């Protein structure tokens, strides 16, 4: 009897923790990433002046931290429109700029309270809402400055909520799936991770590069992400680094995928999407997009079979 009990206990010990892939992604990639984002937005919210470069520096640090987790389109960030509000882009109809202009016309101080600002349109808020204010032709003063500071507080609130949501339940739902949770099985949790990885990688090619690339005949350099702040290429570099890290935590032996990442990352410094109207630059940008698609192909060839799963439905399924 006794030996049997021991072996049962052993089996239980080995069976309890979820597979290392998802658990490692959560512990080593997701939670530290959100902690950095909370930290950076808190530091941004602590700034109480629009003078000098302090606000821009804080904003850039927060943006850097956001790119570290922006590919994770699952969990608390999907609630209450947070992912849309944190960095609303692309905005093809220029809704954010219109709503910012409308707010200036009213200059309503009541709008700046935490409760009111949280109710405003996602295109008006977040990192992109702040960018319009702190990278305007003239430094923000008066109402524009008050609005920028209020948006910084709003960002810090959302970041804290997202991290708290992960730590208080969503991480557990992923690493300990079960019939009553969001994920019923380890396979479903692995599928969610693979979906985040692949759609996160592809966003760089399809949207960050694809929008300005447009067509060879009519390129659209004005459509780059972070046009005013000039962060365009930095966002792509950081996003590739972040998704590369996620791939590594999901499957440590991802040599094919990792090599594809390395190849694409090496091209980034030589591409400038703001110059995409130049045919030479256009071609370089297109090749970078192709090399990013090659990362997806490698991940599907290597990591998907290792995890035994495919891609699930995702936010990019629409048009």
Interface residues with another protein (CB under 8 A)? 81, 84-85, 92-95, 97-98, 119-123, 182, 184, 187-188, 191, 214-215, 217-218, 220, 222-223, 263, 267, 270, 280, 283-284, 287, 290-291, 293-294, 297-298, 300-301, 304-305, 308-319
Nearer to another protein, 60 or 291 (CB): 291
> Nearer Cβ to another protein, position 52 or 92?
92
Q: Tell the smallest beta-carbon distance from residue 125 to another protein (Å).
A: 10
Q: Which is nearer to another protein, 47 or 214 (CB)?
A: 214
Instruction: Report the alpha-carbon angle 159-163-166, nearest 5.
Output: 145
Q: How far is the CB of 118 from another protein (least distance, A)?
A: 10
CB of 313 to another protein, least distance (A): 4
Contacts of 122 (CB under 8 A, 6+ apart): 81, 84, 85, 88
Helices 31-46 and 142-165 sit at what angle, rounded to 10 degrees? 150
- Residue 152 per-residue DSSP state: H
Q: Residue 157 or residue 293: which is nearer to another protein going by CB?
A: 293
Q: HSE-up of 297 (CA within 13 Å, CB side)?
A: 9
| Burial degree of 35 (CB within 10 A; 0-12, 13-18, 19+) | middle
| Rounded least distance, CB 78 to another protein, Å | 8
Q: How far is the CB of 11 from another protein (least distance, A)?
A: 26
DSSP symbol at 124: T
Q: Which is nearer to another protein, 55 or 304 (CB)?
A: 304
Q: Which two tokens stand for residue 11?
A: 């089996």
Length of the chain: 319
């Amino acid at each position: 009897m006794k030996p049997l009990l021991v072996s049962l206990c052993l089996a239980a010990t080995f069976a309890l923790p979820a597979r290392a892939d998802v658990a490692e992604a959560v512990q080593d990639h997701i939670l530290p990433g959100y902690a950095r984002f909370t930290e950076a937005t808190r530091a941004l919210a602590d700034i109480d002046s629009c003078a000098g470069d302090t606000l821009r520096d804080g904003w850039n640090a927060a943006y850097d931290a956001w790119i570290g987790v922006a590919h994770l389109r699952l969990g608390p960030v999907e609630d209450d429109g947070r992912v849309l509000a944190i960095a609303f882009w692309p905005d093809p109809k220029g809704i954010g700029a219109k709503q910012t202009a409308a707010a200036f016309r009213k200059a309503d101080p009541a709008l700046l309270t935490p409760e009111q600002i949280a109710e405003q349109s996602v295109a008006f808020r977040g990192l992109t809402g702040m960018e319009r204010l702190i990278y305007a032709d003239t430094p923000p003063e008066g109402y524009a400055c008050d609005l920028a500071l209020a948006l910084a507080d709003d960002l810090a609130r959302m970041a804290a909520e997202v991290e708290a949501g992960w730590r208080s339940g969503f991480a557990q739902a992923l690493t300990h799936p079960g019939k009553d949770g969001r994920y019923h099985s380890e396979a479903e949790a692995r599928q969610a991770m693979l979906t985040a990885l692949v759609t996160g990688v592809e966003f760089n090619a399809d949207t960050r590069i694809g929008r300005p690339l447009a067509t060879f005949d009519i390129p659209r350099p004005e459509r780059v992400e972070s046009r005013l702040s000039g962060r365009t290429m930095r966002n792509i570099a950081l996003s590739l680094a972040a998704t590369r890290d996620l791939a590594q935590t999901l499957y440590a032996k991802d040599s094919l995928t990792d090599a594809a990442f390395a190849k694409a990352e090496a091209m980034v410094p030589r591409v400038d999407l703001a110059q995409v109207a130049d045919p030479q630059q256009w071609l370089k940008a297109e090749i970078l997009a192709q090399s990013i698609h090659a990362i997806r192909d490698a991940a599907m060839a290597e990591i998907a079979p290792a995890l035994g799963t495919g891609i699930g439905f995702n936010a990019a399924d629409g048009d």
